[in-house]
Amino acid sequence: MAKLKISRDSLLPPMANFVLENGLAPASLRPLAKAAGTSDRMLIYHFGSKERLIEDLLEYIADIYADAIDQSFGGERVTTRQECLERVMAFTAKAEMQPFMALWWEIVAGATHNKPGYLEAGRSMIWLLLNWMKTQLPIDDPDPEGGARYLLTMIEGALMLRAVGCDEIARAGLGNADLGAA
Amino acid sequence: MAKLKISRDSLLPPMANFVLENGLAPASLRPLAKAAGTSDRMLIYHFGSKERLIEDLLEYIADIYADAIDQSFGGERVTTRQECLERVMAFTAKAEMQPFMALWWEIVAGATHNKPGYLEAGRSMIWLLLNWMKTQLPIDDPDPEGGARYLLTMIEGALMLRAVGCDEIARAGLGNADLGAA
DNA sequence: ACAAGTATGTAGCACTTGCTACAATATTGG
DNA sequence: CCAATATTGTAGCAAGTGCTACATACTTGT
């Protein structure tokens, strides 16, 4: 029964869990410490400041996000961009992805207010999704790079509209898209 | 020199100003009161609670947003959807619109966390923009309703990508769009 | 004029925030 | 073993949070 050594690495997982469940707004030191089974005192000791803690935490969460994407690989290749769009929309709508979606808008808001670490975390998540999407496009797609960027733009727009209760607009919007090289 | 009667209507403008300049995060009672030249005590007196104050404030800001859109009417009609998209992108990139853009992501984040008033404010702003965009489409557009929704979806996606420092993806995405009926 | 509301100032409460001082223990290298 | 270092607990601070109690005014309708 070796006592687990407490370190950044052992503290990050439960804190990431807390943030994915409750968002960043209530993620102050004492609730985070409670979730990790320590005290605010120790969080400062291990991370130096809340600011650096959050930076590390966002980075760690981006890694979790990467794993979640990796695990949803596989399944046979798709034959049209339309089909690909539907698959990605379905992926982002999965129940296990909802905590990330909820967190996502806080990250975007934080990035526009120049909170340290937010922009980096947001950007890395976008690039992950973009690269993953390229692997989802039809094999014979004439322009996977451009196609993926186009689809990603549409998808993010649709997700935002969904977030403010305008799903209908997004649905009509997606339906009206001529998806370039089909 | 009649003393101006202090009321909700006279308090909202300076508070809206404060929120557009500083965002919603630092908009606690005392800073808001200071911006409006009163005390937190009076804000509670006039609005009942901070929750209701923010609801009213978001509604009021949505009205300001509507005015800003109205004022940018005019200019001759455009002849292609592509041109329309560029015009709307230019509109949302205007300096005077940036406070709204910064505030926007806080509203979206708040909406996903069910903060009262946020979803309503966000939705009304989206519909305003959508309706305005319909007036910007080419007169001979075969499907202004669907076209506007499609363009709006693209635009919101591009704005989000821009917010997390992925402008390049958005530009490529917009460039790859086949804009339906041109 | 007088009672009844309306409006406002001053103080404060109970709580949370990030963070620190101080002391105690655990671990480890010589 | 013993000294240095790493880790942790307890307590607290100064500031900020939404909100309230209480005492004033200032304006009304009668």
pLDDT tens per residue, range A66-92:
999 988 877 788 999 999 999 889 989
A178 strand-pairing partners: B178
- B151 with B141: CB under 8 angstroms? no
- A140 with A82: CB under 8 angstroms? no
- Asked if A123 and B166 come within 8 Å (Cβ–Cβ), the reply is yes
Domain assignment present for residue A65? The answer is yes
- Nearest chain A residue to B168 by CA distance is A149
Domain assignment present for residue A27? The answer is no
Domain assignment present for residue B2? The answer is no
pLDDT of residue B8: 82
Distances in whole angstroms, Cα of residue B137 to Cα of each of A154, B93, B179: 19, 19, 12
Domain residue limits at A152: 54-175
Residue B43's contacts (CB-CB under 8 Å, 6 or more residues apart) are B11, B29, B32, B33, B36, B50, B53
Distances in whole angstroms, Cα of residue B70 to Cα of each of A42, A67, B11, B78: 54, 46, 24, 17
The answer to which of A76-90, A161-175, B137-151 has the lowest mean pLDDT is A76-90
pLDDT tens per residue, range A48-59:
999 999 999 999
- Statement: residue B166 has pLDDT above 80: yes
Tokens of B79: 């002849």
Name the domain count of chain A: 1
Partners of B153 on chain A (C-beta within 8 Å) are 154, 157-158, 161, 169-170, 173-174, 177
CA atom of A115 to C1′ atom of C7, Å = 41
Which CATH number fits the domain that encloses residue B16? 1.10.357.10
- Asked if A152 and B157 come within 8 Å (Cβ–Cβ), the reply is yes
Instruction: Write down the pTM of the prediction.
Output: 0.94
Instruction: Tell me the average pLDDT of chain B.
Output: 92
